[in-house]
């Protein structure tokens, strides 16, 4: 048994809500009760609980563009996506090609990974001029 198991620590989460960067310990007691220690504010506790029970991430990547002045367009999700669905979402993005022109904020993929999360353009992409 490791020292962490002796103390009931499941994992340690670094809070990123503010510059303090508290290390929040997630503990499980003998009865199975989960507790959080090491946070210095309510927002830190809320962040650690969210990260432990239901972790989510914002997607930031690029998508292929047809007829654009660049071959790739930076994109992001308009809200956090469940961490367990990230791999599936990235596969969908990798198979998708969008057509220029595109305006920043345009929804490129609606409801990715069967969630209420859209993939949006992070910049404008003008159409390539045909010579």
Confidence of residue 3 (pLDDT cuts 50, 70, 90): very low
Residue 39 lies in a domain: yes
- Assign 50 to helix, strand or coil: helix
pLDDT of 46 > 60? The answer is yes
Q: Which two tokens stand for residue 73?
A: 């367009």
d(CA 67, CA 127): 6
Domains in the chain, number: 2
Q: Which domain holds residue 85?
A: 60-121
pLDDT of 127 > 90? The answer is yes
Q: Calculate the average pLDDT of the chain.
A: 93
Residue 37 lies in a domain: yes
- Assign 66 to helix, strand or coil: strand
Residue 128 lies in a domain: no
Nearest Cα to Cα of residue 127 among 103, 96, 97? 103
39 and 25 assigned to the same domain: yes
pLDDT of 5 > 60? The answer is no
46 and 91 assigned to the same domain: no
Q: Which helix (H) or strand (E) holds 13?
A: strand 9-14
d(CA 110, CA 122): 15
Residue 126 lies in a domain: no
d(CA 35, CA 9): 9
21 and 71 assigned to the same domain: no
First-residue to last-residue Cα distance in the chain: 70
pLDDT of 34 > 50? The answer is yes
pLDDT in tens, 88-98: 999 999 999 99
pLDDT of 6 > 80? The answer is no
Residue 38 lies in a domain: yes
d(CA 29, CA 46): 20
| pLDDT, average across residues 35-57 | 96
16 and 41 assigned to the same domain: yes
66 and 117 assigned to the same domain: yes
Whose tokens are 């198991």? That residue is 5
39 and 67 assigned to the same domain: no
């Amino acid at each position: 048994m490791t020292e962490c198991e002796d103390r009931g620590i499941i994992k340690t989460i670094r809070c990123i809500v503010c510059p303090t960067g508290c290390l929040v310990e997630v503990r499980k007691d003998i009865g199975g009760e989960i507790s959080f220690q090491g946070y210095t504010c309510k927002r830190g506790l809320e962040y650690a609980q969210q990260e432990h029970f239901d972790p989510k991430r914002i997607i930031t990547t690029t998508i292929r563009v047809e007829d654009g002045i660049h071959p790739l367009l930076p994109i992001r999700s308009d809200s956090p996506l469940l961490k367990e669905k990230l791999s599936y979402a990235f596969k969908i993005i990798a198979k998708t090609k969008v057509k220029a022109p595109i305006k920043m904020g345009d929804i490129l993929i609606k409801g990715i990974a069967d969630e209420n999360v859209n993939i949006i353009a992070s910049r404008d992409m003008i159409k390539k001029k045909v010579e």
